[in-house]
Structure 1
Amino acid sequence: MNRQIAGMLVGLMLFSGCGSESQPASQKAVNTENTAKTTVQTAVGNKLKKAVPESVPHQKPDPATPAHAQTTIDEASIQKAEEFFLRGMEFQKQGKLAESTQELTMAIKLNPRVSRYYFHRGSAWADLKQDASAIVDLTKAIEMSPKNAQYYYTRALFFMTRGGTELAVKDFTKVIECKPDSQQALNNRGLLFATTGKLKEARADFERVLEIKPDSIDAMNNLGFALMNLNEMDKAIEVLNKVLQKNPKYLNAYDNRGLVWQKRKEYDKAIADFTKAIELSPGSLKFYRQRMVVYQLAEQPEKQKADEEKIIWLQKLAGLNERLAKTPDDTELILERAQFYLASEMREMAMKDYAKIVELTQDTGRGYYIRGALYLEENKLDRCIQECSRAIKIQPQPEAYSVRGDAFMKQGDVEHALRDFERAKRIDEIVAKAYLMRSKSFKERGEHKKAAEDYERAVAIDPSLGPGKLDEEKTAGKPVIRPIK
C-alpha cells in the first residue's frame, strides 16, 4: 500500500464510541503482494480526502483511562497542550513529520489523557519508519479509547503494510465488531484471508461488502479473484465482466479475467485481456510475464520471445530507476538512462532526462554540451553549436569546445573547427584532417607558408597523412601543434 498513514489520517474527524470509523468511501482495496499461495488483484486506490481536524479546547477525563492517569490537569496546561497538538497537525499537513512528533510529544507531556494525541503521533512515527514507537502510541490510543473503530482500523493498516497479517485480521475484525457495515474493513480483511488461502472467508467478506455497497467494483474484482481460485469459473467471469462494464479501464479486472481464461485454456481471450492490461500499464513486468506464459501454452514461440526480450528491457530500466531513486541528482546515472531510452527509440523520454541534466548543471553548463553531443550524433549541427555555445558562455570547458568543433567540422567550417579544437587542446585524427583541409585551402590561395605549416601539423598528429619517405623520428621530435594567431 502506497498511502502514508499520517497522510491518510491527518484531519480525519475522530469520534469516540463503537462504529466511529471515518474512513472515506473513496478508499480502495489494499493490495498485498508476494504471498505464499495466491496473489490478490486489486485496483489502485484513490488518495483519501483530507479535512481540517476539529480541535477540542477542553479534555474531560476519559472513563477508559486508568485511575492513576485520572489526575487533575489545570486549565492552562489543557489549553497549551491543545496548541501543541494543532501545531503538530499543521506540521503533518506540511509533511514535516519529525517536527510533528516533537509538538505532539509536548502536548502529551502537558496532558497525557488525550488518546488522539497518541494516535496522531503514532501515525507520524509509522511514516518515519519508527515502527516500535508507532506500535506503542497506536496501542496506547486504543487502550485509552477501546471502542474507537478508527484507531483499530489504522493499526490494522499499519500491520497490513508491515506483513503482520494475523494482527491486521484481528484489528479489522475488531472494527467490524464495532461497525458491522464497515466496507473498508471487510474488503481489506477479505484480501488478507485470500492471501492466506482462506478463500471461503474471503468470498464471504467480499459478498458482504457488495450487500452494503452493490456498486463497489473493488469488491467485485476481489470477489472474481476469489471465485476463480475456488474453481467457480463461470461465476468469476460473470462478476469480472460486470466490473469491466462499469469501468472499462479497471486494470486488474483484465488481469484476473485473463487468468480465468488461461485456466479454461481459452488462450486467445487470455492474451487479449493481458494485452489490454499492458496497454493500461505498459511498464508492468507482471502482465508481460503472464502473457508470455500464455503465448508459450498457445505455442506461439516468436511472440513468447518478444515478451521475454521486453521483460529483460523492463528489468534493466527498473534497475536504473531503482538506482536513481537512491541518488536522484546523479547526472551520470540520468545520462545512462537517457542513452538507454535512445537505444530503445524512446527519444521523448531521453530528452526529459537530458533536460534534467541541464537543470542540475546550471552552474557549469555541462548539461548543455552533453545535450549538444546528442544533437551532433543526430546531425542537428546548428542545435549542437547553440547548446555548446551556451555551455561555453557559462563556463568555458574543453569538452564543450571539442563537441562544437566537431559540429563546425561537419559543416565544413574548418577555421572555426580548428579554433575550437585548439581551445580544447585536442589531438586526434579529426584534428589532423582539419589541418590537412586547411593546408589545401591555403595552397589553393597561394599562401604556401601557411599551407606548409598546417601540413606539418597534420602529419605530426597522423603520420599516415604524409609521404611514405617521411622521417617519423624527426616528425615525432617536432612540436605537435604550433600556436596559431
Structure 2
Amino acid sequence: MTMEVPGRSRGLSCLLSYVSLLCVVLDLHFDGLFAASQAEIEQHLEMGKKLLAAGQLAEALSHYHSAVEGDPKNYLTYYKRAAVYLAMGKSRSALPDLSKAIELKPDFLVARLQRGNILLKHGNALEARADFEFVLQADPGHEEARGQLAKVHELEQHLQEAHVYYNRHNYLETIELLTRVIELSPWDPESRELRADCYLQIGDYSKAIQDLKPTTKLRNDNRAAFLKLSNLYYTTGEQEESLNQVRECLKLDQDDKECFAHYKQVKKLAKQLEAAEEYIKQQQYDDAIERYEASMKTEPSIAVYTSRAKEKICYCLSKGKKAKEAIDFCTEALQEDPRNIFILRDRAEAYILEDEFEKAVEDYQGARELDGENHEIKEGLERAQKLLKQSKKRDYYKILGIKRNANKQEIIRAYRKLAQQWHPDNFQSEAEKKEAEKKFIDIAAAKEVLTDPEMRQKFDAGEDPLDPENQQGGGHPHQWPFEFNPFGSGNFHFKFNFN
C-alpha cells in the first residue's frame, strides 16, 4: 500500500497546471507565426502576379521563390513560378516546377498539358505522350491534348524515317525529314546536331553553323558545340568568329585541353592576319607581305587562308611598285585561283607599270567578265584602254626611258641627260637639226608633264594633258610655243616658235 505524501501531490498538481498553461501560450504563439507566414506568402504571390503582368520577370521570380520557400506544399505556387520561367524562355527550369505541381495534385490537367507541350518541344516524345494521354483519359473531349498527341505520333514517325535515311547516307532526304522534326521540336538539340552533320556531309558549312549555334544554349555546358563551331568558322576562313566561339568554350572550362589547343592556333593566325591588314593601311607593304607569308606557315593546310594570303601578297607587290615580282607572283596565284578578280586587277596594275597595256586590258576584261558590277574593275578597264590608246601616240615615260614609278629626281636626271644629248645646237646639218629639234621637243614635253603632279596624274589615267584633242576652252596653259632653259643655267638658250 502506497502512502500519498501531501506536499508532493500539491507540487505535481502545480507543475501540470503550469505545463498546460505553457502549451496554450505556445499554441497561440505558433498560430500567430503561421498566420503571419501565410500573409507574407499571399503578399509575395500578389507581388509576383503584378510584376509578371508588368513584364518585370526577374523581380516576379524572386517573389515566387519566396512563396515556394514559405509554402512548399502549395501546387499552385510551383505552377505560377513555372509560368515565370516560361515567360523568361527558361523551359528547362519550368519543368521541375510543373512536375512538382503534378506530384502534389496528380489531376492538375492544366499543368500536365503544359508539361506535355514543353516535353514535345524538347523532343521527349515518350513522356509527352504520357501527359497527353493522361489528359485525354480524364477528359476525352480535350481537343488540344488530342491535337498534341497527333504531333507526337508525327514526330516519332519522322525521326524513325530520318535515321533510316541517314544510315543509308541519303543526307538530302534526312535533312528534309529533320526539318519537319525541328518544326515540331524546336528545342531538341539532337535533331539540330544530326541535321548539322548532314549539311557538313554535303558541304554546306553555313547551314551547319546555323543549326549548331542554338545547341550551345539548348544543352548545359555544351563545350563540344562551341569547339565544333569554332572549327567550322576556322575552316571557312572566319578566324575572328572562330576565336569568339572557342573563347566561349574556355569560359565554361579554362582547362579544356582541346579548346585551349585550338585557341592558341586560331589566336596566332588571327594576330598575324590582323597585323598584315594594319601594315597595308599604313602602306608598309613589305611588312605586310612578311606577315602573310608567316600566316601560310601557321596554317598551311586550309586553302582559304593560303589563297587569301597569296591574293594579298599580289596586291602588296603591285602597290609597292615591284612590277616584275608582282606579275610572276600573281600569275602563280591565278593558277590556283583563276576566278579571283582581285588578283587579275593587281596583275593588270603591275602590267601597267611595265607598259604592257594590252595585257593589262586583257586582265581587266577577264575580271569584268567575272564581276560586271564591280565599279573599281570597270574604272580600271577604262583606264587601261586609254593607256593602250595613248601608248600608240606619245609615251612620256618611254621618251625619257624611265619606269612609271620613277620619282621626280629620276625624271629630271633623265631629262637633263637626253636634253643635252639631243640639243639642236649639237648637230650641223639641217636634217639632223630638225630631227634633234623634234626629239628635243618631246623630251621637254615629257619633263613638263611628268614633273607636274596634276598633269602626271592625268597622263597616268590615260589622258595626255598636252594633246590638243584633250584640251578645252582655249588650250592648256602649258601648250606650245614656250621658251625654256633645259639646264636651269645660262649654257643653252633655244627659242621654239611653231607659228
**TM-score when scaled to structure 2?**
0.32
Higher helix share: 2
Which structure ranks higher in relative contact order (CA pairs < 8 Å, sequence separation ≥ 6)? 1
**TM-score when scaled to structure 1?**
0.33
Greater Rg over alpha carbons, structure: 2
